[in-house]
Chain A
Amino acid sequence: MSKKFTKDHEWISLEGDLARIGITDYAQEQLGDVVFVELPEAGRQVEQGNDAAVVESVKAASEVYAPVSGEIVEPNVKLEDEPALVNQDPAEGGWFFTMKVSNPDELNDLMDEAAYADYVKELG
């Protein structure tokens, strides 16, 4: 399936019942150089909109929220040693974690790529 997006600038892509989550190119650009990422441990249950991770740049620290509810499966431990991946490759290699989606209906709350592009355009 194609990606869905949140107003908080996370992306989510579904692969079977597993979803992969990251932050958007717009988000990494706003943050600036990412210096640290705090990831959730596998097995943690999160509700849609809960804090799931923290991304810290030279100028700010922000939460990464769970776009949908479910159970964390795998954190991208590569980011611990190489947080700059979030800047270099936000849409692929810079993913934050995968999760088992408990309620796929929640995906309907999210924007598709075109809607997100419009949303970002509005933000200026």
Chain B
Amino acid sequence: MEKSDASPTEAVFEGIMNAGIDFIVSVPCANLKELIPMVDDDPSIVHMAVTREEEGVGICAGAYMGGKKTAMLMQNSGLGNSINALSSLDLLYGIPLVMIISHRGIEDEPICAQVPMGEMTGPLLETLGITYYVSSSKDDATDAVSSAWDKAVEEKRPVAVLLPISYWRVS
């Protein structure tokens, strides 16, 4: 389906709905400022703000074991905050999770402090053995998020969808 009428946020949300994700934790990013309230308002989704991404990995692991399909909305800087939990909890036990990541610190980044983690995000995910998709269009994002939960269950590990700065500017 052509997503020309949808906003970048709506395209991601459509993927969340298609995937049947019903439990979401979030740590904000300016690029997620529309998606977070959209998720929070949906009665089919349990959503909560968490204080740190590592905590979110733990909460989602518990929710998964309780029967939920889980996702975390986060900025890529939070990947650094969650690596031990991703490794010694999710990878160790084979626990799936969809990480929907606003990817800062790459092209067109105005804040220099975002750049080091921005450049390391892909290599860190590769080192962790976490499959990730980079979305450059709304169709890409909907498709990647829609299939991410099943992929994570199949791989018994987290899957990430990276949404770069340019993604949020597509019309």
> Do A and B originate from a single complex?
no
Residues of chain B at the chain A interface (Cβ within 8 Å): none
Residues of chain A at the chain B interface (Cβ within 8 Å): none
